[in-house]
Structure 1
Amino acid sequence: MVALQRKKRTGEQSAERNGKRHKSALVTSSFILHSYSKLPDINDYSKQKTVGLDVFVWGTGSMCELGLGPAASTKEVKRPRLNPYLTEEKLGGTRVVDFAVGGMHTLALDGKNRVWSWGTNDSGVLGRDTSQAKEALKDMDADASEDDEDGDLNEAESTPGLVENLALEDEIVQLAATDNLSAVLLSNGDVYAWGCFRCNEGLLGFLHQDIKIQRTPMKIAQLQNIVQIAAGKDHLLALDSKGIVFAWGNGQQFQLGRRILERHRFKSLEPQQFGLYNIKYVASGDFHCFAIDHADNVYAWGLNQFGQCALTGANGELEDGSILMKPTMIPELSQRGIQQIAAGEHHTLALTKDGVVLAWGRYDMKEVGIPEDQLPKSTFKDQHGKPRSVPVPTELKFGQKGKAEVKIKAIGCGSHHSFAVTNDGFVYAWGFSETYAPGLGNLDDDVERPTRIVNTATKNEDILMIGAGGQFSVSGGVKIDDEDKAEDRIEKYNEIDEE
């Protein structure tokens, strides 16, 4: 790829020092440090979700990711399946109200303010002791085709269990999960976390250089008045009530918004602000991040070699290994009413207030959901003419005819697959299919266009939220009790999706 000629950033003017809200979201870190107590509160604290959800899981769960118990037959689930351990009966009269999906584990919050976890626990991300789990014995009479040579799963890791030492007076309002760390945000703005961060060289640590792996929830004293958290592969972002963004964890791809010197690598384990102010929303992919300010400007930083930050040179140039070292305003995304951003390893989705989904980034595994015959002119191709990435945000079409009445209310990304949830609660999926993570069954090829998930378990469910990890996915919905309404919904989308 050719060299990236970065556009000159706008909005880096000196901040006014008279206590009024700044016109720019980019200020100096020293200004924030010395003026923090005088800055006004501009963001509201989050509130706990209350709608009880049916939780569905699918994909490949060889590392206990699906939470369906230890039987080896649960390692591959090709379409969404109700998790039987998270029903109202199993949870003692309550339901799951929220969840967060990491690379190989999931956190779920129930209506009693309890957090459940499942998945691989090598880094202590489950927040509970799974070392004494009994080995699940194989059924010798079972059909050999229903079992595999690897045997059954760890019973404690593959079955949802309560996070320990997390009895809190304040409500939990948000969960976050990286590849190796878990975190919860409380209604009073406090953050608790457990697990660790990893970097290119292996284990980085949890907090300071003294704590390598934290196996039970620990309050992050450096954070106060937090209103939102966002997780990357091995880093976290936190947004506070004053509109200031903090970041900590692995910063080797500049995903912390600042340069991390090798001799100070352990300083990256402590949350620090890096000059972003007046922000109302943050989001993160594996190695790249986004922030939206109160003027509806969008900023990005981190890895950008596939244009996943939506920034190229003046002529659409991309650079192999390109990095945005500091938050940079993205003209293609600003002033477009973006409400949500979801991102994977090298691709990104954005949802506007009008229910429109924009996609950009890597194309190799069809992550962006654009058929090859409909790729925009901005598509970057290699020397052989093969499409490699779509660096300019491009509107996605849903249904065979791209009908305009399909509006989207939620989006989600795994490492290389993506989802969009319609206002009616149906899910469209696309991307890398080998691990069954899109939930579309057994496919020979990756899914190049948004394709509706059709299965018995969710056909009468109004899906409200969705998330994904490296090779699995999770959704939450509410059953539609009105049979006529459910049938009308199915007929509507059968017509939308027909050839």
Structure 2
Amino acid sequence: MVALERKRKSEDSLSNGKHKKLKSSLVTSSFILHSYSKLPNINETPKPKNIGLDIFVWGSGSMCELGLGPSASTKEVKRPRLNPYLTEEKLGGTKIVDFAVGGMHTLALDGKNRIWSWGTNDSGVLGRDTSDSKVVLKDMDASDSDDEDGDLNEAESTPKLVENLNIKEEKIIQLAATDNLSAVLLSNGDVYAWGCFRCNEGLLGFLRSEIQIQKTPMKIPELKNIVQLASGKDHILALDSKGIVFAWGNGQQFQLGRRILERHRFRSLEPQQFGLYNIKYVASGDFHCFAIDHNDKVYAWGLNQFGQCAVTGSNGELEDGSILTKPTLIPELCNLGITKIAAGEHHTLALTGSGEVLAWGRYDMKEVGIPEDQLPKSTFKDQHGKPRSVPIPTKLKFGKTGEVLIKDIGVGSHHSFAVTNDGFVYAWGFSETYAPGLGNLDDDVEVPTRIVNTATKNEDIEMIGAGGQFSVSGGIKIKDEAKAEERIEKYEDIDDE
């Protein structure tokens, strides 16, 4: 979770050397371009993380997503399991302090400023050579593909160090992962990336028409003084110290905040600003994005066919293919003190500073965590009268009392998580791939349900993330046995009341 740190709160900007009051954080791109050097710094660089975490993984890992080694028995893990390759002993006296989860791979940062990676490496996202692996997975589309019971690719399924990341003495302050690309943010504001972007037609590329797949970390020259990254399915947002947002990658659903003409499609592979100023935080789902400004106004753009941007038509209607072509003010999300937004393919969660969670978007795989008999009046129904989506942000309830406070949220493509202030995890959503971590279930999980298992019962979970069909969490072991037992009894009461 990226902390929201504010150096100053102001709507003042400089235009032609004079202070000008901005009523909105939306300005013209040319204004930013011509005024950039005069704009004040309003965002601070986050401090590097330094709290060591135990790393747990679960879900379906047929493409090496779980990082539990090559054994065929690691392809399906129904509840959180400690990753044995990322312990303090295996890492040489340090622990993992941060991680980022992509569609089918994960990056993890340790206390020695090193990055570990695992998962499928088809697009070079692991930042290391895996070509000499003992086992190579067959093409899923091949007619003779039958590796269901076979071992996994050893190099991809086992966490190893990212290679050739020449960052000298700079500290890594954030990791980012899309479906096909990896990126890191350094303490000096530089960004390095590797992998590629894909679009509806297949491979889009990495840098203009010159580089299709970048297999080693490369510095992105257009980005300077960056303080935060946010990754989608095949695009990335970057926020700089002046509160300006940049975007690059696939923009076919307007997730780059600007129109991409087909004849200029490779221009989308260069980070560009698109008129968002005074921003303190950015977030992204697969195809939709959010930005929060220093006045607590929230903007959204991108794909919205399930109301995942929290916008409907004038009569509350939703349409297939609905898109917000540019950043749009979302009144329902403004002035709520939102500190984090986590979004999947078609749904979104927001965490407030007071520990509440709001959910909205697609409903049919139970992504939003609201029981059908408690759906709000704003729920959009299909032609058969079945709930299709909840387009208006709606407060979620945790436990029987609903008074549980939340400190972190995370989502996968169609499943969701909330971490309580004292480190338990509630999960809900699509369950077929075991990604919620609740075991073998016949149905999707309709309401937030606490994960109960031996591996994490005495862990204070600090952060959580998820990909397409798997999930990752990081926690701190509670050494005081009495305190750990007291915590368990507390939540047994909360869930049973």
TM-score between the two structures when normalised by the length of structure 2? 0.94
Residue of structure 2 equivalent to 1:5: none
How far apart are residue 315 of structure 1 and its match? 2.2
Give the conservation status (yes or no) of the 8 Å contact 1:348–1:361.
Answer: yes
How far apart are residue 319 of structure 1 and its match? 1.5
How far apart are residue 337 of structure 1 and its match? 0.6
Residue of structure 2 equivalent to 1:481: 479
Residue of structure 1 equivalent to 2:100: 100
Taking the aligned partners of 1:21 and 1:81, their CA distance within structure 2 comes to 53
Matches within 5 A, 1:365-444: 365-399=365-399, 401-404=400-403, 406-444=404-442
Taking the aligned partners of 1:149 and 1:468, their CA distance within structure 2 comes to 23
Taking the aligned partners of 2:135 and 2:147, their CA distance within structure 1 comes to 16
Q: After superposition, what is the alpha-carbon deviation per residue over 1:84-117, rounded to whole angstroms, capped at 9, x for unaligned?
A: 0000000000000000000000000000000000
Give the paired residue count.
Answer: 477
Residue of structure 2 equivalent to 1:466: 464
Q: After superposition, what is the alpha-carbon deviation per residue over 1:27-85, rounded to whole angstroms, capped at 9, x for unaligned?
A: 00000001100000000012110000000000000000000000000000000000000
Residue of structure 1 equivalent to 2:494: 496
How far apart are residue 19 of structure 1 and its match? 4.1
Taking the aligned partners of 2:14 and 2:327, their CA distance within structure 1 comes to 16
Residue of structure 2 equivalent to 1:3: none
Q: After superposition, what is the alpha-carbon deviation per residue over 1:372-415, rounded to whole angstroms, capped at 9, x for unaligned?
A: 0110000000111100000000000001x2332x0000000000
Give the conservation status (yes or no) of the 8 Å contact 1:70–1:136.
Answer: no
Which amino acid letter does the alignment assign opposite residue 313 of structure 1? G
Taking the aligned partners of 1:86 and 1:456, their CA distance within structure 2 comes to 19
Residue of structure 1 equivalent to 2:24: 24
Residue of structure 2 equivalent to 1:450: 448
How far apart are residue 314 of structure 1 and its match? 2.4
Change (3 A) 1:149 1:289: closer
Q: After superposition, what is the alpha-carbon deviation per residue over 1:462-489, rounded to whole angstroms, capped at 9, x for unaligned?
A: 0000000000000000000011110110
Aligned to 1:135, the other structure's residue is in SS state: coil
Q: After superposition, what is the alpha-carbon deviation per residue over 1:301-344, rounded to whole angstroms, capped at 9, x for unaligned?
A: 00000000001122211111100000000000011110000000
Residue of structure 2 equivalent to 1:339: 339
Give the conservation status (yes or no) of the 8 Å contact 1:118–1:157.
Answer: yes
Residue of structure 1 equivalent to 2:153: 154
Which amino acid letter does the alignment assign opposite residue 165 of structure 1? N
For structure 1, list consecutive stretches of 5 or more residues without a partner in the other structure.
Answer: 1-11, 138-146
How far apart are residue 16 of structure 1 and its match? 5.8
Q: After superposition, what is the alpha-carbon deviation per residue over 1:248-268, rounded to whole angstroms, capped at 9, x for unaligned?
A: 000000000000000000000
Aligned to 1:332, the other structure's residue is in SS state: helix
Change (3 A) 1:79 1:173: same
Q: After superposition, what is the alpha-carbon deviation per residue over 1:131-160, rounded to whole angstroms, capped at 9, x for unaligned?
A: 0112399xxxxxxxxx97440000000000
Aligned to 1:489, the other structure's residue is in SS state: helix
Aligned to 2:393, the other structure's residue is in SS state: strand
Taking the aligned partners of 2:67 and 2:457, their CA distance within structure 1 comes to 22
Which amino acid letter does the alignment assign opposite residue 153 of structure 1? L
Backbone CA RMSD of aligned residues = 1.7
Residue of structure 2 equivalent to 1:142: none
Give the conservation status (yes or no) of the 8 Å contact 1:94–1:112.
Answer: yes
Residue of structure 2 equivalent to 1:131: 131
Taking the aligned partners of 1:199 and 1:149, their CA distance within structure 2 comes to 28
Give the conservation status (yes or no) of the 8 Å contact 1:16–1:22.
Answer: no
Aligned to 2:377, the other structure's residue is in SS state: coil
Give the conservation status (yes or no) of the 8 Å contact 2:14–2:20.
Answer: no
Give the conservation status (yes or no) of the 8 Å contact 1:19–1:39.
Answer: no
Which amino acid letter does the alignment assign opposite residue 458 of structure 1? T
- Asked if 1:214 is matched to 2:214, the reply is yes
Residue of structure 1 equivalent to 2:269: 269
Taking the aligned partners of 2:496 and 2:84, their CA distance within structure 1 comes to 33
Matches within 5 A, 1:47-58: 47-58=47-58
Taking the aligned partners of 1:387 and 1:494, their CA distance within structure 2 comes to 31
- Asked if 1:163 is matched to 2:156, the reply is no
Which amino acid letter does the alignment assign opposite residue 430 of structure 1? W
Which amino acid letter does the alignment assign opposite residue 54 of structure 2? D
